[in-house]
Structure 1
Amino acid sequence: MAHGTPASPSAAALVEGFSLEMTGKDLAGLEEARDMIPQGTKVNVTFLGNEDLEMRVAAAKAVKEMGFVPVPHISARRLKSQDELEEFLGRLQEVGATEHVFAVGGDPAEPEGPYPDALTVIRSGVLQQFGVREVSIAGYPEGHPDIPADLLWRHLDEKALTLAQEGLDAVILTQFAFDTDPVMTWIGQVRDRGIDAPIRIGTPGPAGIKRLIGFARRFGVGANAMIVKKYGFSLTNLMGTAGPDRFVSDLAALLTDPSTGSGTGGGSGDVKLHFYTFGGLLATSQWAREFVASQSSGARR
């Protein structure tokens, strides 16, 4: 932990109520971390190509049984048919894991079935049939390596509007970021478009620097020397580890500073954090608990 980070009640508040991400293979990690994760925490369960239906459902079931809120991912381009979508949702409903889902386009260059993007899944009407009440949708503060910015914005507008029309709650969950500047600019643009859904800013939990940079390059996130130095680590020390202390503290300060309030009307709305657990669920959960405790105790001194 970066002990030079100033204590801030706003930084503690930003971290409290965080959400986490796990894969279908992370059951042992979830069990290991369970006592560190506050009850009721949202835990997203990925939909990766190297996982199968049984793994995804078992992970969502374990999240629910441990007292957390499962948020299964629906990777639109990986779905081969509407039947596959219905089977997945049906199995999730059996274990009480369909109230919250995350609809995302997914990695395949070509759709494997009838859903080229998350918007198509949302518009299908299938989600509501299985008890879905809240849908998380993707946000990209630093853009997407394969999708033009105007298309990203159009889809965000259309997804937010469609969810409202369908009577479903929306949450915007972003790709992880290293730099607060594009994040704050992007939040302002979202609010200026009249989208008031809660936003969860993606940030990596503590992890090896080499691993963080590898993920950043894969997802098109800025990882140049100036940005990573601002985040709190150096490209000359790739063997070390880094946590998001500086990023979180800087973001909290900007969110609560009237002069940098996002949106032309001021105010950033409901903003929380979503942790990508590249360094493991336990390391991330421990970091969050210690960060909140240190910020709260430091602010009282």
Structure 2
Amino acid sequence: MIGHDAVLADLSIELSAADLPQVQEAAARLPGGARVHVTALTTETHADRVATASELVTHGLTPVPHLAARRIASAAALGASVQDFAHAAAAASVFVIGGDPRTPAGPFASALDVIESGVLARHGVREVGVGGYPEGHPAIADDVLWDALARKSAALTDQGIAGSITSQVSFDAPAVLAWIARVREHGIMLPIRVGVPGPMGVARLLAFARRMGVASTASLARKYGAQLGGMLGTADPDDFLDALFAGLDTRVHGEVSTHLYTFGGLGATLDWIGAR
């Protein structure tokens, strides 16, 4: 089983504004200064996210607010959002995603557009996280993904902003390791956080996996190493992380750490971390 130090090494985790009542508990159970992503859900307001980020700062954690490019109406609106987080001492690090709307609300159709606009740099953002896709994207061609990732990395370097990549969920450790090696072969040396789902019910995990293209319980067990004994049980990422850490070679893969998605609930993920 993976060790405590491996799990906690530069760990990041995510929550939503709905988890605000659990921030104090999270602070007591995470390393001081741990990065905590504040997701940009359409069911929550910008003010909700700012309040959550402020509470994370109060409790000694490092908030990483998400900015959804296609939901931003203008460069001025982007600047105002960052400034709101800055007033809460929560704008040093942000994570930029494309967002769900098919039609952009303003001039930003992608995370790359936000970064290349220079707005983040002008408002004092010092670190920007971007997404990565170990098994591709259903709506974006691979060559487009690789070009965009390289351009994001170059733009951040040119603006003097530190960058990092957080991968979307994959249930296949060898595929993730191969993708990280390809990132490095493309000359992209940003630190990588491998996105891993925290523990959740088997039925929920399987439903999520099917949306990711994993067709059956047997296939999920083979890829993820999950012990799926029954639909009422719980699956955790231990086997996946064992395989990932066993295959990592810093000479090939560079700087790699873990990002935990809390699909099964923040409390369950905190319990899992504490048990390592």
TM-score of the two chains, using structure 1 as the length reference = 0.86
- Shift in Å, 1:227: 3.5
Is the CA contact (8 Å cut-off) linking 2:226 and 2:237 kept in structure 1? no
* 1:83 Cα deviation from its structure 2 partner: 2.5
1:271 matched to 2:271? The reply is no
Who is 1:204 aligned against?
A: 197
Task: Tell me what 2:78 maps to.
Answer: 85
Ranked by relative contact order (alpha carbons within 8 Å, sequence separation 6 or more), the top structure is 1
Would you say 1:213 and 2:203 are equivalent positions? no
Residue 228 (structure 1) shift: 2.9
Structure 1 gaps of 5+ residues are 292-301
CA deviations over 1:151-204 (Å, ceiling 9, x no partner): 111100110111111111110011112110110110010011111110000000
Question: What one-letter code is carried by the residue in structure 1 that aligns with 2:209?
Answer: A
Greater shift after overlay, 124-133 or 226-235?
A: 226-235
8 Å contact kept, 1:176–1:221 = no
Counterparts of 2:14 and 2:231, CA distance in 1: 24
Shift of 1:214: 2.8
* Corresponding residue SS for 1:275: strand
* Backbone CA RMSD of aligned residues: 1.8
For the residues of structure 1 that align with 2:213 and 2:99, how far apart are their CA atoms?
A: 17
- The amino acid of 2:154's aligned partner reads L
Confirm or deny that 1:59 pairs with 2:52.
yes
1:129 aligns with 2:122: yes
Q: CA deviation at 1:212?
A: 2.1
Does residue 188 in structure 1 map to residue 173 in structure 2? no
Q: Note if contact 1:75-1:106 (Cα within 8 Å) is conserved in structure 2.
A: yes
- Contact 1:142 1:222 (8 Å CA) reproduced: no
Deviations 1:200-233 (A, max 9, x none): 0000011112222333344x35454323334233
The answer to whether structure 1 residue 151 and structure 2 residue 144 are counterparts is yes
Tell me the CA shift for residue 270 of structure 1.
0.6
SS of equivalent residue, structure 1 residue 176? coil
Shift of 1:84: 1.9
1:117 is aligned, of 110, 118, 124, to 110
Identical pairs, percent: 43
Q: Which amino acid aligns with 1:288?
A: I
Q: Given that residues 232 and 242 in structure 1 are in contact (C-alpha distance below 8 angstroms), is that contact kept between their aligned partners in structure 2?
A: no
Q: Distance in 2 between matches of 1:79 and 1:182?
A: 33
Match of 2:95 in 1: 102
- CA distance, structure 1, for counterparts of residue 82 and residue 213 of structure 2: 31
Helix, strand or coil at the partner of 1:74: strand
Structure-2 separation of matches of 1:64 and 1:41: 10
Amino acid at match of 1:122: I
Matched residues, number: 275
The answer for the alignment partner of 1:255 in structure 2 is: 248
Structure 1 Cα separation of the partners of residues 241 and 79 of structure 2: 38
Q: Secondary structure at the match of 1:29?
A: helix
